[in-house]
Amino acid sequence: MNTVVTGANGMVGANLVRMLVARGDCVKAITYGDTHSLDGLDVERVECNILDTSAVGNQLRGADTVYHLASVITLRSSRNAKAERVNTEGARAVAEACLRRGVRRLVHFSSIHAFSPHPINGTVVETRPLCGDDHPFPYDRSKSRGQRAVLAAVRRGLDAVIIHPTGILGPHDFAPSQAGRALLDIYLGRTRVLVAGGFNWVDVRDVCSGTMAAAERGMAGENYILSGHHVSVVDMGRAVAKLAGRRPPRFVVPQWVMRAAAPLVEGWAGLRDREPRFSTFTLHTLAHHQVVSHEKAARILGYTPRPFSETLGDTFEWYATMGMLGKKASSSESVGDFRLGKVPQRVKEGDFQHFKAPVAVRFSRD
């Protein structure tokens, strides 16, 4: 099968391409920037501007299936022109190119963030409305618009399915991702406090398996949520601390305190042209889309996410093999009570209960 993957050098792409090659697909990897995540793989690498419909169309010639992963993930709460262009216009360009080239199936990567955050306490399912153009956060808004562009092409005859992953963790996170950096900061003892809230996390390998199943068994024009398990920030900190062999961050700061600080953090990051460590958007994320259902994907695609403990353990084993837990320690080098570079110890589902609960920091609003 001739398969094209856009955004192939990202975290999801690096995993998906490996699974497609293992299946025997002839893969063309459309990339942008550093491609070392694809080193050693028998794939054709092509750097292409995803916004150029003509250039994209040339790369899709002869493709049976196209997986459109290319996107810009931003934590910024203010306007992000690059995210708007890539996530919206890029999706439109790929959909138009697929139509012109007669591609058998397009699998479009949307996001759980494309859905409206309301009702806050409701279960997120595939029929929930998408974010409107008045939604305040650029990532959510741009992913919603990109999905609408794909659906418009479906109405004109494009065979496409749409998937909505939640927060993604797992191996082959070369960059690393923003979520991966947060995990590494906790592991290496750089995180001193945690924030109240949580999110739904899913293994990147399960996302890729579900995506491939959607390409084969999904219905044209339908969308499928690929979620995993809701994990609070506190429990995440405990689990990572268990892997590191250190105590978890002790203090939990309420969201309203972090929201007060977020504009300053975002402003400082903007001056340095970097993504903020946290933002109003990340705090919003930790308070919305809390209950997510993948029942439709389970029923139609046979989708089953693995335990969160397995994902976290495999993720840090991969980080260790890549030397991302710090320099390889000599017999005398250590940080805290664990060795840098050592393969972390395993965490089991029941291990959370063995940790002392962090202290909830209370602030007066007066």
The three-state DSSP-derived secondary structure of 210-264 is: HHHHHHHHCCCCCEEEECCEEEEHHHHHHHHHHHHCCCCCCEEECHHHHHHHHHH
Which helix (DSSP H) or strand (DSSP E) does residue 202 occupy? strand 198-203
- Note the pLDDT of residue 135: 77
Contacts (Cβ under 8 Å, ≥6 apart) of 149: 88, 91, 92, 95
Of the options 3.40.50.720, 3.30.930.10, 3.40.640.10, 3.40.50.2000, the CATH number for the domain spanning 2-174+200-230+290-307: 3.40.50.720
* pLDDT (0 to 100) of residue 353: 41
Question: Rounded to two decimals, what is the model's pTM?
Answer: 0.86
78, 228, 48, 339: which is closest to 236 by C-alpha? Answer: 228
Q: Point out the residues of the chain with pLDDT beneath 70.
A: 75-79, 255-256, 259-272, 274-281, 283-284, 327-366
Please state the domain extents for the chain: 2-174+200-230+290-307, 232-289+310-360
Alpha-helix runs per DSSP H in 155-203: 178-187
Under 8 Å between Cβ of 240 and 186: yes
Specify the pLDDT at position 15: 98
Looking at the chain, how many residues does it have? Answer: 366
CB 325 within 8 A of CB 340: yes
Question: pLDDT tens digit string along 327-347?
Answer: 433 222 222 222 333 445 555
pLDDT tens string 187-203: 999 988 888 889 999 99
Q: What is the pLDDT of residue 250?
A: 84
- pLDDT for position 345: 55
